[in-house]
Amino acid sequence: MKTLYLVRHAKSDWGDPLLEDHDRPLNERGLRDAPAMGHRLAERGVNPDRIVTSTAVRARSTARLLARTLGIGDDHVVEDDRLYGATASRILNIASGLDDAIGTAMLVGHNPGMSDAVGELTGEWVELPTCAVVECLVDVDSWAELIEGTGDLAAVDTPKGQLR
C-alpha cells in the first residue's frame, strides 16, 4: 500500500503584472494557509517520505512551508519542472516513477492538472481550491503499478475545512 498526497499550491499574488506566471509568489493568504494546512496534516500524523514540487515559485513556497511545519528536512523536498502546468497523465507518470522505498509521497502542483489527477486516479472528481490536500490510498507494492483507477480517495482537506 502506498499513500499519495496531491496538493494544489497556496494562493498566489497577482499584484505584479510584469512577473512571469512561473515567478509569481504566494500572497498573504497563501503564506498563512500553507503553514496552517501543514499543522492540520501534522495533527493527523501525515509524514511524507518525499515531497515533489513544481518549480514555480508559488508551488515551491507551498512545498517548503508544508515541509517545515511537518518537520521534514529540505533534503526530502525535490523540485521537478515537469509538474509546472502538468496534465493529470503527467502527474500520475511522475508519481509512478517514484522510488519504491518511498511509502508516502506528496506532489505539489497546479490546477487543472491536480484536480484532474485526483479524478483519474480515484474515479472521484473534486475541484481543488488553492492549498487543498487530497489523500489517495493506492493498493500497489510498486509506484510503477500506479495507473488510472488504482487509488481510493481517503481525504480532501482545504483551508476552509475538511471536505471528506
Distance CA 63, CA 93 (A): 20
Tell me if residue 128 falls in helix, strand or coil.
coil
Summarised one tens digit per residue, pLDDT across range 74-105 is 899 999 999 999 999 999 999 999 999 999 99
Tell me if residue 116 falls in helix, strand or coil.
helix
pLDDT of the residue at 17: 86
pLDDT of the residue at 1: 95
In this predicted structure, the answer to whether residue 161 has a pLDDT above a threshold of 90 is no
pLDDT of the residue at 118: 98
C-beta separation of 41 from 6 below 8 A: no
Domains of the chain by start residue, with CATH: 2-162 (3.40.50.1240)
C-beta separation of 7 from 158 below 8 A: no
C-beta separation of 152 from 136 below 8 A: yes
pLDDT of the residue at 162: 74
Span 18-23, mean pLDDT?
A: 93
Whole-number average pLDDT of the chain? 96
pLDDT of the residue at 16: 86
Q: How confident is the model at residue 18 (pLDDT cuts 50, 70, 90)?
A: confident
In this predicted structure, the answer to whether residue 49 has a pLDDT above a threshold of 90 is yes
All residues at 6 or more sequence positions from 22 whose CB lies less than 8 Å from its CB, including other chains: 55, 56, 57, 84
In this predicted structure, the answer to whether residue 163 has a pLDDT above a threshold of 80 is no
Distance CA 133, CA 159 (A): 9
Q: How confident is the model at residue 152 (pLDDT cuts 50, 70, 90)?
A: very high
pTM: 0.96
Name the region of 104 (left: φ>0; alpha: ψ -120 to 50; beta: rest): beta
Span 29-41, mean pLDDT?
A: 97
